[in-house]
Amino acid sequence: MSRKAAISLLVIAGLIVAASWWAISVNRQLVRLDQSVNEKWAQVQNVYQRRADLIPNLVETVRGFAAQERTVFEEVTKARASATRVQLPPQALSDPRALERFQAAQDTLSGALGRLLVVVERYPQLKSNQNFLALQTQLEGTENRIAVERRRFNEAVRDYNTRLLLFPEHLVARVSGFQPKAYFEATPDAATPPKVKF
């Protein structure tokens, strides 16, 4: 073997090793981003669970003051049951329809809670009850946490999806089987203000 051939083989071997290290590095970064998306999604679900856990206490407190509002209590209870039944594991985050189903169940619960709070307006003595005020404050804080965690989730999805689309990282992502994740989006009627009827 000539000296030129040996140098050529060493250069080719060096390029192969460098390309392999680069591909491994990109794969590791994609795994980290994927895990970040999954962690952010788990936090979104955690906050939704916190809201679901607060609802029975809120309903019982209001029920004590407004027993005749039975249909509203039933709606909230059914919506809570439905929202807690719809689970979305991290593996399903690539399916926008699954995320829409999860979001629809949560939106139904939000609507039922809104109707419950309209009932509260009819009972001034309830609005001054310390238990109710504490629960309402916790629920408001939880709703704010939900918004924050959904934003963080969408930021993690943006970073992950962007990395999947960059060239030449895109090649490693395709070979490794990484799929884009769906964003948590507002429902189509989110821009329409809710109608409150007394």
DSSP the chain: --HHHHHHHHHHHHHHHHHHHHHHHHHHHHHHHHHHHHHHHHHHHHHHHHHHHHHHHHHHHHHHH-TT-HHHHHHHHHHHHHHHH----GGGGG-HHHHHHHHHHHHHHHHHHHHHHHHHHT-HHHHT-HHHHHHHHHHHHHHHHHHHHHHHHHHHHHHHHHHHHSTTHHHHHHHHT--PPPP----GGGGSPPP---
Is 193 within a domain? Answer: no
Per-residue pLDDT at 194:
43
The answer to whether position 184 is within a domain reads no
pLDDT at 76: 73
pLDDT of the residue at 191: 46
155 domain-assigned:
yes
Task: Specify if 43 maps to a domain.
Answer: no
List the CATH number of the domain containing 153. 1.20.1440.20
Structural domain for 133, as ranges:
3-37+48-178
Mean pLDDT by 10 residues, the chain (198 residues): 82 86 84 86 82 76 62 72 74 77 80 74 64 76 84 88 84 83 67 41
Q: Has residue 194 been placed in a domain?
A: no
183 inside domain: no
pTM of this prediction?
0.59
Report how many domains make up the chain: 1
> Would you say residue 21 lies in a domain?
yes
Assigned token pair, 3: 């000296």
* Tokens describing residue 5: 């051939």
Note whether residue 15 is domain-resident. yes
